[in-house]
Amino acid sequence: MENTLNDAPLAAPVAASRKQRDLLYFAAILGFLLLINFVAQRFFFRIDMTEEKRYTMSPATKTLLRDLKQPVTITVYLTGDFPPAFRRLEQGVRETLTEFQVYGGANLNYIFIDPSAAGTEAARNQFYASLIKKGLKPTNLGATENGKRVEKIIFPWAVVSVGGQDKNVLLLRGNQAAAADVRLNQSIEGLEYELASTIRALVPGLRKRIGVIEGHGELSNAQAGDMLSTWQQQYDVYRVTLSKVPDLRALDAVVVAQPKSPYSEDDKFKLDQFITQGGKALFFVDALRVDLDSVSRNGVALATPYNLNLDDLFFKYGLRVNQNLLLDLNCGQIPLVTGMEGNKPKIEPMPWQLYPLINKFSPHPITRNLDAVYLKFVGNLDTVKAVGIRKTPLMTTSRYTRVLPAPVPINFNDARLEPNPKLYQKGFQPVAYLLEGQFPSLFANRARPGTLQFQPEKSPNGKPSKVLVISDGDFIRSEIDPKTGNPYRLGFDRLANTEFANRELVLNATDYLLDETGLISVRGKQITLRPLDKVKLAEQRRRWQLLNLGAPLALLGLFGAVRAWRRKRRYARFAA
């Protein structure tokens, strides 16, 4: 009895102390969480645990987004009820934009719109039509889902809006000849560059200046119209006649597009000084002259060498444009009359080995994940020794290539003949080179043409530069629409109704040559494709479904049983 009286007054303080302790614990945990949140808002960091660092933005992208001075809105139309393969691309876009928003802050916003969300077919078709009117072409892409072929009309596009200007971004890129999964993976790899480069193009800033050389029979404004208008979206573009300007120092890059007459020594001197002093250059040159009008009239004509007076310049820089034509079994087509239908000629497309289709590229940021490109009457390139110049072959013909030295007879009737594979054994032939480094001057220790001004062995103004050479002048020429007289998009082939990637390659090359931020290097980003074993997936599907559904329930049941056992044991001891 004495013990009972002594214990009763002690019960209330013990309960109060435990309550205070619990409140203190709760307050401490709440304060710790608030502190973590406060610190996280001011000192953001994240750890990318993926092997290929897929969630890590390049320094150039971060700088671009942090320096945004005005709001950027990105509207994405790639969302909806997709098969899993397409949802992976949509998820890739979401992750990329989420990462963009981390660095862009309040100046970068994005929204996703489902083009198929309308409740009625009429409203849906009306919305489709409005998107097509904006230039967003739908894609009917197929995939295999649960062993069944699935097709879906999607709009793999985003629209970037900055300061009242809009620019469309195609999100589904890659090589069309590749499998659907590979192409989707290539598209995911290119998302950061496509979106970041579009933002950069729309954000006002210092625009580079490109000079398109004329005066030697180069492509006209109409023939190069699509590429000129594409460049003008990002750069200031000028036509430049070398004989009328003292030098090219006011420019950042020059383009030589399919010249047909020789460059004078003084014109060549200006080009040489521009390149050796850090100016960038893109050459699209033919080695042989092919007159298709003469072939049409006479049935046959000879392709003979051009005299552009540029061979010694290229040779000094470490490159030689060979005077030949390449025939490739992987080729485009030309329309030929194959007979008569009534009183009308029957015209059919026939393979034309002189129009190679190129899909063999080096893993360089300019050509990585690029679709096939289309060439016409192309020759091969060789490299020669040039100290300090790094030479990168960007693309080659297929392994089934034939080389014909000049002069080469051109006859449309050759397309009617079955090619002999034994003649196409020259293997991969390079048709484009990127040259980088400190270029030696062709005029070192020589007088400037027409003067007595001797040039030093090394120019005091010399700087590293970059030069692109493609041995096909037609590479940059657009076909002209006979009805409107306007140029088609560069790379569009009317006969195949297909657009090849010529435009994308030239734009990538221009960005690579002129980009000082390093943003173009993002195109080298690689995400490893880790496909599931489809056979094993089909065999073990039910097992994994049961495991995924049953394992959580089993764990939950086990946890409940253990907890009930512990409570029972604890209170049984207390009651005893």
Radius of gyration of the chain (CA): 33
pTM of structure: 0.79
| Per-residue pLDDT band at 5 (split at 50, 70, 90) | very low
- On the question of pLDDT at 494 being above 60, the answer is yes
- On the question of pLDDT at 365 being above 80, the answer is yes
What pLDDT does 1 receive?
42
Give the Cα separation of 250 and 144 in Å (integer). 55
Instruction: Quote the tokens at residue 403.
Output: 């080389």
pLDDT digits (tens, 9 = 90+) for 172-209: 887 776 777 777 888 888 899 899 989 988 887 768 99
Torsion angle of the four alpha carbons 292, 296, 301, 304, in this order, in degrees rounded to the nearest 10: -10
Work out the average pLDDT over 461-476: 94
pLDDT digits (tens, 9 = 90+) for 264-281: 999 999 999 999 999 999
Bridge partners, 236 (sequence order): 209
CA angle 122, 126, 129 (to 5 degrees): 140
Q: CATH 3.40.50 occupies which residues in the chain? A: 209-515
CATH code matching the domain that covers 209-515, chosen among 1.10.150, 1.20.120, 3.40.50, 2.60.40: 3.40.50
What pLDDT does 378 receive?
95
**CATH topology assigned to domain 59-202:** Glutaredoxin (3.40.30)
Q: Say if CB 400 and CB 391 are below 8 A apart.
A: no
- On the question of pLDDT at 237 being above 80, the answer is yes
Alpha helices in 278-346 (DSSP H): 292-298, 311-316
Percent of the chain having pLDDT more than 70? 91
Task: Provide the CA 456 distance to its chain's centre, in angstroms.
Answer: 41
Instruction: Quote the tokens at residue 517.
Output: 């931020």
Among residues 192, 180, 195, the alpha carbon closest in space to that of 140 is found at 180
Return all residues near 410 (Cβ < 8 A) that are at least 6 apart.
Answer: 290, 292, 295, 300, 301, 302, 303, 354
pLDDT digits (tens, 9 = 90+) for 77-133: 988 887 777 788 898 899 899 889 988 888 999 999 999 888 888 998 899 999 999
End-to-end Cα distance, the chain: 20
| Per-residue pLDDT band at 468 (split at 50, 70, 90) | very high
* Helix (H) / strand (E) containing 553: helix 541-575
Q: CATH 3.40.30 occupies which residues in the chain? A: 59-202
* Neighbour tally for 181: CB within 10 Å: 14
Per the prediction, the chain carries an average pLDDT of 87
